[in-house]
Amino acid sequence: MDKNLAGRIYRAVQLIPLGKVATYSQIAALAGNCNLRRYVGNVLHENPSNAITPCHRVVNAKGFCSGSFAFGGPLVQQEKLEAEGIAFTNGHVDMERFCISGDDFESMSMELRDER
DNA sequence: CTTTTGACTGAGT
DNA sequence: AACTCAGCCAAAA
């Protein structure tokens, strides 16, 4: 059992189903503790490797982009999400429809658990 | 070892 | 509804 929180966070982000988005809290919960939400954003910021880590599927609880310049800009994030099939409402992601459901969360959790 | 800070969140004003 | 405040955790200074 490694304490590599960042690794678990990355894995969790990579496990986000296509066409869905996850909040920092959910990623943190998948990483092991929902209170790590702050650290999730921090770790993702350290990882510009959006190719292996789809950071664009990670949004804040309001469904908005992180606010900061992510992998290229919030506009880029929106375009990426739209390309994934995620609709935007009033400039933010429609969380009611595209936030990962309990089943998705369960699947991701299981995969993360099965990993190590 | 103490302090600061950050891609956050929820509650209070 | 918009803004402020405090709580949370881990890493870097």
Note the CA–C1' distance, A107 to B12, in angstroms: 36
Mean pLDDT for A47-60 is 86
- Closest nucleotide (C1' vs CA) to A3 is C10
Closest residue by C-alpha to C1' distance, nucleotide C7:
A35
Residue with tokens 């966070």: A9
CA A35 to chain CA centroid, nearest Å: 15
Taking the model in full, what pTM does it have? Answer: 0.92
The CA-based dihedral angle spanning residues A57, A61, A65, A68, taken in that order and rounded to the nearest 10 degrees: -120
- Closest nucleotide (C1' vs CA) to A35 is C8
Note the CA–C1' distance, A88 to C5, in angstroms: 30
Cα–Cα distances in angstroms (integers) from residue A106 to residues A7, A14, A29, A49, A85, in the given order: 19, 15, 11, 26, 22
pLDDT, position A3: 64
pLDDT, position A99: 96
pLDDT, position A94: 95
